[in-house]
């Protein structure tokens, strides 16, 4: 199937009162697993590659081209997205490789500098028909704008969107990056106010820390693109550990990476079901 665009996946989900699952690729097994999980669910999906993952592989090109190839072989619509890119050069490389969307993260900068940098990247990407996500909020270490105590102001979000012309906005509503427990407390009323303020797709980062019920409620309240990484990594690592404990003499990586890939696929299928539950049920 031809590669699809992130915009079409996200806007299609939004029109259907559903969430669009966006899952992070660390290595090729993750990309394969995410696509397999989406195919089992019969749902579109977004494969994300972060700047940290590009750095891990030495550059964006090796993991990026492999992920694009896997996406093109899928039997469901699959988009490939650059996640949390702070480097303009990396954004340009992603566009050249054929990514249809990027998340440019200038949230570490003061507000006015964030606006200027983001607008420059948006102008570049839109000239190449590439969809742009940005982030708004304070920054504090790995948690970024999504430290539990930080919140995105709806009025500031409205001004930011108007000034930058981005296509989607990641907002801080109570989740936090890299959580290994699923007990984040989301501000559903704020999600509703942000939805009314910006009128474009909202993105929930740090979704690994949010339980199934609250993920569904967040979609019902107004979130559309839902990013998941750590939760899948937990499933992957747990499966590797279990297999090696069961068979400590294993030396062939395929013997433990295969089960880990299968575990991630099952989680993706499950989460896509959570995000596309009946709209009326989501709102209750």
Enumerate the active-site residues.
83
DSSP track, the chain: -----HHHHHHHHHHTT--EEEEE-SSHHHHHHHHHHHHHHT--EEEEEEHHHHHHTTSHHHHHHHHHHHHHT-SS-EEEEEEEE--HHHHHHHHHHT-SEEEE--TTS-HHHHHHHHHHHHHHHHHTT-EEEEE-S---GGGGGGSTT----HHHHHHHHHHH--SEEE--SS--TT-SSS-----HHHHHHHHHHH-S-EEE--GGGS-HHHHHHHHHHTEEEEEE-HHHHHHHHHHHHHHHHH-TT---THHHHHHHHHHHHHHHHHHHHHHTS-HHHHT-
């Amino acid at each position: 199937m031809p590669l699809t665009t992130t915009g079409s996946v996200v806007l299609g989900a939004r029109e259907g009162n559903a969430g669009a699952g966006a899952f992070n690729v660390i290595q090729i097994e993750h990309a394969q697993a995410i696509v397999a999980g989406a195919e089992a669910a019969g749902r579109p999906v977004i494969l994300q590659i972060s700047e940290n993952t590009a750095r891990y592989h030495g550059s964006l090109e090796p993991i990026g081209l492999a992920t694009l190839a896997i996406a093109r072989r899928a039997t469901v619509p699959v988009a490939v997205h650059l996640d949390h890119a702070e480097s303009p050069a990396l954004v340009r490389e992603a566009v050249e490789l054929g990514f249809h969307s990027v998340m440019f993260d200038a949230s570490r900068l003061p507000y006015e500098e964030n606006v200027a940098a983001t607008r420059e990247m948006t102008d570049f990407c839109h000239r190449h028909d590439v969809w742009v996500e940005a982030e708004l909020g304070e920054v504090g270490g790995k948690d970024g704008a999504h430290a539990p105590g930080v919140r995105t102001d709806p009025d500031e979000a409205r001004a930011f969107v108007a000034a930058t012309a981005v296509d989607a906005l990641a907002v801080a509503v109570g989740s936090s990056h890299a959580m290994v427990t699923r007990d984040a407390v989301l501000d559903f009323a704020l999600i509703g106010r942000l939805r009314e303020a910006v009128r474009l797709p909202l993105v929930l980062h740090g979704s690994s820390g949010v339980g199934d019920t609250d993920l569904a409620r967040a979609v019902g309240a107004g979130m559309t693109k839902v990013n998941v990484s750590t939760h899948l990594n937990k499933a992957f690592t747990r499966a590797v550990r279990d297999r090696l404990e069961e068979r400590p003499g294993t030396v062939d990586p395929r013997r433990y990476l295969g089960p880990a890939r299968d575990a991630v696929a099952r989680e993706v299928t499950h989460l896509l079901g959570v995000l596309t539950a009946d709209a009326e049920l989501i709102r209750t």
